[in-house]
Structure 1
Amino acid sequence: MSGPHVLTSVDLDAATLPAATAEIEHERRVAIFDLVEKNSFQPVDSEGGPYSLKLSLQDNRLVFDIAGPAFSRTYALSLTPLKTVLRDYLLICDSYYEALRGSSPSQIEAVDMGRRGLHNEGADQLTQRLEGKVALDRETARRLFTLVCALYRRG
């Protein structure tokens, strides 16, 4: 009988991570916790999990090292198709945190709507890039995009 199609651990390859501040390190830990806490992660051709995932950045690629019972695959995805949404999302997150410090509720709401829209766009792009490799539900794609942003962000 196959096990659940979920991630039970996520590790980041410290050797390939960009330098990070304490705040960014915290973002990475929270993103990992949220992803592992609740997800649906089904690699194609796998009979069942659970799975462990090691993420790294190598040669402008996002590398997924996936292991599970009787399953092991590595996928390297070019970051180029994701770079625009990654940059835009990180910029709007900075604007959102700035707005929280002194903008009106309607201004904060407007920035937050844009932030959520870009987050959804990034999750959709990540889902498309993983198509034929790993099936994700919407919330897992959103959590995984959050982690990719935390990985991508420079200190």
Structure 2
Amino acid sequence: MRHLDSQRRNRLFSITLDEASIGRGNPDQEHERAIAIYDLIEENCFGLPGHAGGPYQLHIALHESKLALNIRDDAGEPIVVHILSLTPFRRILKDYFMICESYYAAIRNASPAQIEAIDMGRRSLHNEGAQLLAERLRGKIDCDFDTSRRIFTLVTALHWKG
């Protein structure tokens, strides 16, 4: 029973993106963001070292060109805000957006083999970004790779150009 209680507590139940920070994306990007939020709420592993447990609410924003992860308890009471420099993410984000443009263009007129090759590159960069995010959060937030990957998707959503 203790394991089940831990699974229910060490998780996110609400994720929001700061409306003032969001760059509106194309329909494909908006769809990807909605899926990431849905998937993240459905299945995640998220905890705070030294905190009794959640479930947690996560609000993601950009604040003075830094990533702000505002974490609250299930009653909406503030627990902590982690601010991360985005400088280490610049190259990954730049490359990721370039390959995403190629991917969305390829979907419309490229061969399946070309689409698959571009998608493999896109997933690789996405995984690299998720790994970097997990490393930068180490000791602040405990999460598994899939949770880190979905949060990275939402971080990219804050940088989309309309």
Using the size of structure 2 for normalisation, the TM-score is: 0.86
Alpha-carbon distance in 1 for matches of 2:90, 2:106: 24
1:6 corresponds to 2:7? no
Q: Deviations over 1:5-51 (max 9, x none)?
A: 10000112213333x25635554333322211211011121121100
Encode CA deviations 1:61-105: one digit per residue, 9 max, x unaligned: 000011126870011001111121112112111111111112122
Q: Where does the alignment leave 5 or more consecutive residues of structure 2 unmatched?
A: none
Amino acid at match of 2:42: E
Q: 2:48 aligns with which of 43, 51, 74?
A: 43
Please give the root-mean-square deviation of Cα atoms over the aligned residues, in Å: 2.0
Asked if 1:16 is matched to 2:21, the reply is yes
Identity of matched residues, %: 47
Q: 2:66 pairs with 34, 53, 61, which one? A: 61
Q: Are 1:28 and 2:38 an aligned pair? A: no
Whole-angstrom distance in 2 between the partners of 1:101 and 1:89: 19
State the aligned residue count: 154
Map of 2:110 onto structure 1 = 103
Q: Secondary structure at the match of 2:9?
A: coil
Indicate which of 98, 109, 121 corresponds to 1:114.
121
Q: Which residue of 1 aligns with 2:57?
A: 52
Q: For 1:152, what is the secondary structure of its paired residue?
A: coil
